[in-house]
A = this chain, B = another copy of it.
Amino acid sequence: MTPETGIFSPGAPIVEEGQQPTKLYRIVSGWVICRNTLLDGRTQVVSILVPGDTIGAKGLLTGSASDLVEAHQATCLQSISHARVLGLAAQDFNVAMWLLWYANQEHLRSDKWLTLLGQGNAIEKIAITLLDIYWRLSRAGLVGDGAVRVPLTQSIIGEHVGLTLPHVCRTLGILRERGGVDIRYGGVEIVDPNALRASAADLADFWEG
């Protein structure tokens, strides 16, 4: 594999929009954010990546990156060049199948998000966003006993689910009253996933089912 390792500071771009991507990354530690931006400034956060996730699989064959990928905190990444990945895939069918499997998983995820953005109200959108992150951190073994810190500003959460910052604030206030979260400067703490789940039961069922 001979992967290389690199550190990115908060706010540092990992892949620029429209640029020719040449590497595949795996997050060792830190948080990474993928955005699409419109000419008039509207911004959609397409995905929020946590340790263990892969960056740039989408651009492996398409030749140009569609979104801007940024380190959101100090982030440690392993990288492998596209050429090497494709070489490995050509030699070993299992590698090719892993790539295909991963692409399918990503696609499944996108469809779930479509359903959330299309059908959910503000409370559901934010509750599921936090639950989704909680579940992924959990699978990565990063959830301990206490509250789980999610270092995302309300502005970023809003860009992820298509809500304005003040409305995110008010909605988080409701989720706090219900015991699901605590709100901190620069982030949110998930106190009780069950309380979040209760605020978005039907979508949570769909998410897991």
A206 contacts B118, C-beta separation under 8 Å = no
**Cβ A38 vs Cβ B118 within 8 A:** no
Question: A93-B90, A104-B57, A114-B113 are known contacts. Are A42 and B99 too (CB-CB below 8 A)?
Answer: no
Knowing A36-B115, A38-B119, A119-B42 touch, does A104 contact B206 (C-beta < 8 A)? no
Q: How far is the CB of A135 from chain B (nearest CB, A)?
A: 17
Which residues A94-126 have CB closer than 8 A to chain B?
A: 96-97, 99-101, 103-108, 110-115, 117-119
Check: A75 CB closer than 8 A to any chain B CB: no
Question: What B residues does A118 contact at CB under 8 A?
Answer: 44, 117, 159-162
Other contacts beyond A58-B111, A96-B96: 7, CB < 8 A = A36-B206, A38-B115, A46-B111, A58-B108, A114-B114, A117-B162, A119-B162
B114 and A61 contact, CB distance less than 8 A? no
